[in-house]
Structure 1
């Protein structure tokens, strides 16, 4: 079993690790000849199924195992990975390899950075000599028009600094990962491109904070210390509208975005004719036909941290069932896929129930 690679797009990789770490502390990574898959399945909350093209974050990619497509499955803690990537952001070279230390498997990240050292001797101060009669006639001996200044030489040399970060991992047997199955959901009723996630997160957090404050006040007045996390109601239609709503016993507030895009589906990737697809039915039903899901406010806020990846986000709503977010991560060339399920780009898949 062998895995060795250089890192590229380290900033994107670091943002991905940070987004995953905000949801769960442990991830399963599946490496094969072409793809890197990250899976995060917490006991409660959103599940993450991320699939990236290997050439998005790796270069000189070397992978070898006895499994089909040279597959290697690893379980690793996300916090050490995030710290190592953060250290490598400003490096001129970083590589990653699977190794063993004291018999335990490790992902070893070697980071090469350049540092500048200042130094070098200062020349000695000018020495004096006995005066003679010619000094008065020597214009260069007069300190007033030509004051003597010490000369200070600063020699700056670049030196390479090598940092090694070891990330403990567990190599998973193929029989173990067979039980890790991506959940199947029905075809979405609505698919819509979300507004900027940082904007959506700011409003969602405001709603959640308001709900918690109201609930705490109500609980105190009734001597009840139990406060449940608030649920946010997310709705979308096939006419470019997204609605975020909070409803409690004392509150009912709504924020609506209009003019959003409902991407076209690729008929070749559908299991049914396009005219029979649920989204077509919702489109023909008009603007008042909404698909709705309810999500935990705090969990939803953590999910929206994926906004740091700066990709295009398509939300797929299965009415009263599930919400799936496809986050399309652009390659370094800036190209991002066009339609839902576009195989030409990398995507991060999140499920919220």
Structure 2
């Protein structure tokens, strides 16, 4: 079993890991010839299924496994990975490999950075230099090799620093992960492109805080629910309703993306979203989410990609977060969030 790769797009990788770590501390990492897959399934709350192409976060990728599909499955702690990636943000080079330390499997991240040696003479006063920054009438002759010598001295003052961070992992047998299945959801009633998630998160957090403040003295609860609704006419509504208040924020003029009929299991004119659109702007699909869990979900907004929300009325909300490659291409990868709706 062998895995080794150089890291690329470390900042994107770090943001993704931070978003996953906010939901759960352990992830299932699946590596194969084409994709890197992260799966996060907390005991309660939202689930994440991220399928990323190799070249989004890795290059010089090597993978060898005894599995017939050339696959490696790992149980991975996200906190240590996030800390290691944070250390690598300003690196000149970083790589990740599967190894062992005292018989314990590890993902070992080696980080190369350049540091400057401060023990140089550039800060020492020059006796030939007067107090006003000049040399008087006797300007020194630096010679023809001055520029070359200065460059050599500067280079000597730079030192390469190599840091190794070991992340303990557990290698999973293929049979142990066969039962991990992505949730099946019925065809959505509404699909809509959401506003920037960090903007939505700021308002959601404000509602959650307000709900906690107003309801804790009434029912002693600290688990407020938010109502999220959307229609097929470009509107999204976030609502907080308690015994003492009822407030909402509405976004209009959002896009309802067109569906490709070839990818549907039914004719487009029979699709639930078509019926919701024909019913007019007063026909809403609604889910009820835990305020604190929803805030953690919205932290994926730091990836800065477009997000499509698919609403199955009173059942679930599926978020498709498209992660751009930032290399000049139009390629995108998808992180999928499954958010269950709570009953009132």
* TM-score for the superposition, normalised by structure 2: 0.89
Give the superposition deviation at 1:264. Answer: 1.1
TM-aligned CA deviation for residue 66 of structure 1: 2.0
> 2 CA distance for matches of 1:252 and 1:184?
33
User: Structure 2 residue aligned with 1:352, among 335, 339, 343?
Assistant: 339
- Decide which of 303, 308, 330 is 2:302's aligned counterpart: 308
Q: Work out which of the residue numbers 249, 253, 256 in structure 2 matches 1:255.
A: 249
Number of the residue aligned with 1:54: 54
Which of 318, 321, 328 is 2:315 aligned to?
Answer: 321
| Number of equivalences | 322
Q: Distance in 1 between the 2:221 and 2:282 partners?
A: 33
Pair 1:203-2:203 in alignment: yes
Task: Spell out, residue by residue over 1:253-302, the C-alpha distance to the aligned partner (whole angstroms, 9 max, x if none).
Answer: 01100000011112221111111111111111111111000000000001
Cα distance in 1, alignment partners of residues 312 and 205 from structure 2: 23
Describe the shift of the 1:124–1:295 C-alpha distance in structure 2 as closer, same or farther (beyond 3 A): closer
Which structure has the greater CA radius of gyration? 1
Cα deviation, 1:33-84, whole Å, max 9, x if unaligned, reads 0011100011110011111111100001111112243111000110000000
Matched with 2:45 is: 45
Mark the runs of 5 or more structure 2 residues left unpaired by the alignment. 128-134, 143-148
2:227 is matched with 233
Matches within 5 A, 1:1-80: 1-80=1-80
The 2-side partners of 1:332 and 1:125 are apart by 48
Q: Is the alpha carbon distance of 1:213 and 1:60 closer, same or farther for their aligned partners in structure 2, counting shifts above 3 Å?
A: same
**Secondary structure in 1 aligned to 2:117?**
strand
**Alpha-carbon separation, structure 1, partners of 2:106 and 2:136:** 69
Backbone CA RMSD of aligned residues: 2.3
For residues 315 and 125 of structure 1, what CA distance do their matches in structure 2 show?
A: 66
**How many angstroms does 1:116 deviate by?**
1.3
Runs ≥4 in structure 1, deviation > 6 angstroms? Answer: 122-126
Superposition deviation, residue 15 in structure 1: 0.1
- Structure 1 position 170 matched with structure 2 position 170: yes
Structure 2 residue aligned with 1:294: 288
Partner of 2:261: 267
Structure 1 CA distance, aligned partners of 2:189 and 2:285? 7
Provide the C-alpha distance between the structure 2 equivalents of 1:195 and 1:83, rounded to a whole number of angstroms: 30
SS at match of 1:262: coil
TM-score normalised by length of structure 1: 0.86
* 1:145 to partner: Cα distance: 6.4
